[in-house]
Amino acid sequence: MTRTKKRRWVATLLGALEIFIGIGGVPAGLIFILDPSGSGMGFSPALLEGTFLPNYLIPGLFPLVVKGLGSLVGGVFSFLRHRYAGEAGIALGTLLIGLVHWLQPLYFGLGVIEVILGLLVGFRQGPRTTPSSPYAHARSHRPHIIDDMRAAGIGADANGDMTGRRQQALRGADAPFLSAVSPDTSPAAPPP
């Protein structure tokens, strides 16, 4: 199996797990919110004695928002191979482990699997590196700047870096300043 197929398989598995958890979380949260007494889910109000919570309305928001909607969004991220799919899986799995495991051991296990898959998806995307060119910001976020530079007579190659001819023309009185920001590593000419 090629590396790309493994990556797709892991991301698809993570997405399916998150969708499964989300489908279970939305109705559970809605039941708690619509019937805050907890009787709709088989919970006794006696479980809340000694806490600051008068009913299950606030605890019902967790399954709805985090376990339900959060997992559904995480599943969509995984299926679309979004950049943050791995991080979403790690965060959602950690929340399941930390906040649900004492009530439902099944979700503890699913949370552990979700964290592992999230780590695999995150590592398989490779490191997030910063661009090496000082003009990379213009290249990646504002491609129209490169066109504006060309229209103004400032030479720029396809990467947005100034061409050698323009760099040589700019050398002179401003050479020490330009050598600090220029991708050219040749020594600057002394000022006249």
For residue 9, is it within any domain? yes
SS3 per residue for 54-123: CCCHHHHHHHHHHHHHHHHHHHHHHHCCCCCHHHHHHHHHHHHHHHHCCCCHHHHHHHHHHHHHHHHHHH
Task: Report the first-to-last Cα separation within the chain, whole angstroms.
Answer: 63
Are residue 109 and residue 152 in the same domain, yes or no? no
Residue 18 lies in domain: 3-124
In terms of domains, do 117 and 33 share one?
yes
Same domain for 120 and 146? no
* Within-domain flag for 129: no
CA 112-113-116 angle, 5° bins: 90
Asked whether residue 192 is assigned to any structural domain, the reply reads no
Q: Are residues 83 and 168 located together in one domain of the fold?
A: no
| pTM of the shown model | 0.59
> Do residue 45 and residue 120 come from a single domain?
yes
16 and 111 in one domain?
A: yes
Place of tokens 């600051």: 52
pLDDT digits (tens, 9 = 90+) for 77-126: 999 988 889 899 999 998 888 776 555 788 888 889 999 999 988 765 55
Residues 28, 41: Cα–Cα separation, whole Å: 8
In a domain, 118, yes or no: yes
Does residue 20 belong to any structural domain of this protein?
yes
Under 8 Å CB-to-CB from 74, ≥6 apart: which residues? 14, 15, 18, 22, 85, 88, 89, 92
Query: What SS3 class is residue 130?
Result: coil
**Overall domain count for the chain:** 2
The answer as to whether 59 is a domain residue is yes
Q: Examine residue 191 and state whether it is found in any structural domain, yes or no.
A: no
Residues 113 and 167 in one domain: no
- Residue range 54-72, pLDDT digits in tens: 888 888 888 899 889 999 9
- What element of type H or E holds 42? none
**Same-domain check for residues 118 and 150:** no
Say whether both 108 and 142 belong to one domain.
Answer: no
At 105, the amino acid letter reads P
The answer to whether residue 130 sits within a structural domain is no
pLDDT tens digit sequence for 133-188:
555 554 455 555 556 666 666 655 555 555 555 555 555 544 444 445 545 555 55
Q: Are residues 71 and 103 in the same domain?
A: yes
152 and 84 in a common domain: no
Q: Which tokens hold the place of 77?
A: 């991220």
